[in-house]
Structure 1
Amino acid sequence: MRILFWCEIFLPHVGGVEILVSQLAQALVREGHACAILTNRHALDLPDKEMHHGAEIHRIDFVQTLQSRDPRRLHHLCQQVKKIREDFAPDLHHFFLAGPLVMLLQMTNRAPALPVVTTLQTPLDTVLQGGASTLRLLRESALIIAANRVLLEGIPSAVPETAGKMHLLPNSVHSPTIPPCELPWDPPVLLCLGRLAPEKGFDVALHALALLPEHWSHVRMMVVGEGTERSNLETLCRKLGLSGRVHFHGGVPNDEVPAMVNQSTLVLLPSRWQEPFGIVCLEAAVMQRAVVASRVGGVPEVVEEGVSGLLVEPENPEELASAIASLLDDPVKLRAMGEQASQLAEARFGYRSYLEKHLQWYREASGATPPIHTSVL
């Protein structure tokens, strides 16, 4: 089977969707399928085309073209995408819904139109506020994959045409290539992993670190990731007197994430937005690390309260600090939570099942009749 993925941004930018698309494409290639990834060029020094573990990456300047409002540039870009499609000859499109790239899919998926599988990885409100192009995509998709139950139940309520083609599939991650190591205690290390963006709430984690009881004043924090908030977070560290206790590591390739998690005692997910899933919780679990996470979005479907981690209200550094301290005060419980998290991750979010469900749904979608459009290009 030949699958053309549509992803708003892709590696080397690191985020949950980028990791999911990368790992899924790699797994499909290993199974003998062909994959290509069409994405926006988010940095000018990235090549138009390159290979990524056997999958083609095609980068286009769609956002810049839209901003130019130049119909000639848009026509040229559409022809470029049509050429990519003709050369790759996909059996279907797999669209990861997140932004304006949906308009380009609809402008170019013509004569003949191919079936579209859509994965929803954004909060329900964001999906429903996506405008006419997003609603049209949902209505015309052969099959829709929801990362959590909020999306699974909320989309058909708002868009009745999607009833009967929604499927729940929580995210998954590849099994790590290194074993988990013992939890470090000299000193204990808290890990914040992800994009340094306001919605991730890493500022809340810094405030929580400053609020830990005196007997945990030696606890360190490692922040792994890059983003626009780094300067603000570093400034906040200095204001809180935490400069000697917080290390900003910068971004790492996805295959180095397990090694980062191995250096931690406890993983934090202090998000203030409605995380559709919270892939960091799984990345922690497969390395036998418990998490303290915000009770938002799909996170409670991943973290079993009191079993694999603790859930706290977002924007509440006092509650976050209390939860962290309660686990650090009980090393036996913390270790047991990490082991439980690993077992639950394998049972509920195993990658083999995740891959096989995609293949099943690709086969079903390929047999579906896509909507017919008249080409205007």
Structure 2
Amino acid sequence: MRVLQVTDNYAPATGGLERVVQLLSHELSALGHTVAVATLDRPDAPPTSVEGDVTVHRLAGLTRRLRRFSADPQHQFHPTAPDPVLVRRLQELVDRTRPDIVHAHSWMLHSCLALRLPPGSRLVVSIHDYGLVCAKKTLIHDETLDAACAGPSLRKCLSCASGFYGRPKATALVLGLAATRFGKVDLFLPVNEAVARATLPGVAPTRIRCVPSFVADSVAAPAPRPAFLPDNDFLLFVGALGEHKGLSLLATAHQRMTTPVPLVAIGPRRADTPTLAGTPERPVSVHDSVPHPAIMAAFAAAAVVAVPSRWPEPQGLVVTEAMAAGAPVVASSIGGLPTLVDHGLTGLLVPPGDATALAAALDSLLADPTTRRRLGEAGRTAARRYFASEVVPQVVDAYDSVLARPRASTTR
């Protein structure tokens, strides 16, 4: 079949979502499907490029004028309303390639909703976060962590998003979401049931199929141990170096632990990245630019990987990658993380925001190498459920199922 993947950001942009869309595109192509990608244009990439059998179209629209408002120049985001110039470029691409499936992954969906698709085409939407209902995409209300927002309302969302974006940008995003109708979407693919419940209230079950994010089968291929790692046991954190990921919480737990070990944190810095002060007995090191193979090698070398998220993490590719590398995981019981970590079998779950419980769980594993090995091996086996070879056929089956039925025509 002919498939058009549509996403705000694509390589050379880096991140979990970007890796998933790129991997999906190439896996579908390897299965014999004709795949193209439509994404926002970038000043550091050509309008059209070819990756193997996948053609990438970087389309210019009015959105490019919003770059100066972006907190991260490497990641541009489509607004929560159609971009008329981008719609025209997307329509030209659709008319020329006539895809069977238009598969949207991010806020470019809002321009997809304005397209006139060929009669045989279907619109499929993957839901990787909470962006269908939350302008911040996080489901965090007023930066109150450790519990998800109960749901959107116009006044509440305007107030909450204004504290995050500022009033003008927040107003545009929130009003755009409130006005959007998703009746043209033929099939939603949330990454798990937790995300489905939060983002798709009132949507008929026949229009929903949970399909997780995934990693390459080769994700845990052996790689040299990075020189920056401690020689002995250490704790590892990988992710955005921010409060929503629980970095300060982990630093507190680290100091409370009875077992003095180094803490290594890897990830991009943010405006809210805390200053982490270790001690000679409990050193802390932070690394903000590490290639992905080195991160996987760090997972394989870690005594324990901590995922102390304080926001309702939709899925958490870090957990999947850590388990694939055979590392035992201690994670917060919030969002979609409990769907990945089977408590006592592949890792341990602790209440979000509880530094004492986090410290105790980390101590318990550091004191018990046998349990660490058992959890790591079980995690390695469980991670295979999230390998491309397992998940991409689910995506293809979803495509086939939606092509076999009439196009959506609902008001939601």
Is 1:33 the counterpart of 2:72? The answer is no
Q: Which residue of 2 aligns with 1:344?
A: 382
Between the two proteins, the alignment pairs up a number of residues equal to: 354
Instruction: For 1:269, give the aligned amino acid.
Output: V
CA distance, structure 2, for counterparts of residue 2 and residue 116 of structure 1:
13
**Identity of matched residues, %:** 24
Compute the displacement of 1:296 (Å): 0.8
1:174 to 188, 192, 216: 216
TM (norm. structure 1) is: 0.81
Query: Residue deviations 1:121-164, cap 9 Å, x none?
Result: 214863775766688564322111121122344555x224x332
Larger displacement relative to structure 2 (48-57 or 130-139)? 130-139
Give the deviation of 1:181 after TM superposition. Answer: 10
Shift in Å, 1:35: 1.9
Q: Does 1:142 align with 2:141?
A: no
Aligned to 1:95: 104
Q: Which of residues 346, 351, 356 in structure 2 aligns to 1:313?
A: 351
> Given residue 50 of structure 2, which amino acid in structure 1 is its aligned partner?
M
The secondary structure found in structure 2 opposite 1:36 is strand
Name the structure 1 match of 2:147: none
Distance 2:176 2:85 in 1: 24
**Residue in 2 aligned with 1:165?**
207
What is the RMSD computed on CA atoms of the aligned residues?
Answer: 3.3
Q: Does 1:362 align with 2:386?
A: no
Please tell me whether residue 212 in structure 1 is matched to residue 254 in structure 2: no
How far off its partner does 1:338 sit? 0.3
Q: Which secondary structure does the structure 2 equivalent of 1:357 belong to?
A: helix
1:47 is displaced (CA, Å) by 3.2
Q: Verify the 8 A CA contact 1:115 1:369 in the aligned structure 2.
A: no
1:271-286 alignment to 2 at 5 Å? 271-286=309-324
How many angstroms apart in 2 are the aligned matches of 1:189 and 1:51?
42
Q: Distance in 1 between matches of 2:36 and 2:215?
A: 20
Residues 258 and 283 in structure 1, CA contact (< 8 A), matched pair in contact too = yes
Shift of 1:297: 0.7
Contact 1:113 1:371 in 2 (8 A): no
Q: Which residue of 2 aligns with 1:45?
A: 44
Bigger proportion of residues as helix: 1
* Residue aligned with 2:6, SS: strand
Partners of 2:262 and 2:399 in 1: how far apart? 45
CA shift, 1:45, in A, is 2.6
Task: Give a deviation string over 1:265-305, Cα, whole Å, max 9, x none.
Answer: 21111111111111111101111111111111111011000
Q: How does 1:180-199 map to 2 (within 5 A)?
A: 186-199=231-244
Q: 1:310 Cα shift?
A: 0.9
SS class of match (2:183): helix
Task: Tell me the amino acid that sits aligned with residue 26 of structure 1.
Answer: H
Q: For 1:95-127, what per-residue CA distance to the aligned partner results, in whole angstroms no more than 9, with x for missing partners?
A: 124x3x222112234566831111112148637
**Residues 56 and 247 from structure 1, CA distance in 2 versus in 1: closer, same or farther, beyond 3 angstroms?**
farther
Aligned partners of 1:209 and 1:290: how far apart in 2?
17
**1:221 matched residue in structure 2:** 263
Tell me the distance in 2 between the aligned counterparts of 1:86 and 1:197: 43
2:267 equivalent to 1:232: no
Q: Which position in structure 1 is the counterpart of 2:165?
A: none
- 1:340 shift after superposition: 0.9
CA deviations on 1:333-354 (whole Å, 9 max, x unpaired) are 11111001112223x4343231
Deviations 1:189-242 (A, max 9, x none): 2222223344222222222222222xx32x22222222424x833xx114x558
Output the TM-score relative to the length of structure 2. 0.75
Deviations 1:65-102 (A, max 9, x none): 4689xxxx9544333222333444322111124x3x22
Structure 1 residue 333 corresponds to structure 2 residue 371? yes
1:375 aligned partner: none
For the residues of structure 1 that align with 2:230 and 2:379, how far apart are their CA atoms? 20
Contact 2:255/2:282, CA 8 A, preserved across alignment: no
**1:59–1:369 CA distance, 2 compared to 1 (3 A):** same
Structure 2 Cα separation of the partners of residues 34 and 295 of structure 1: 40
Give, in whole Å, the separation in 2 of the partners of 1:228 and 1:185: 25
Match of residue 104, structure 1, among 106, 111, 122: 111
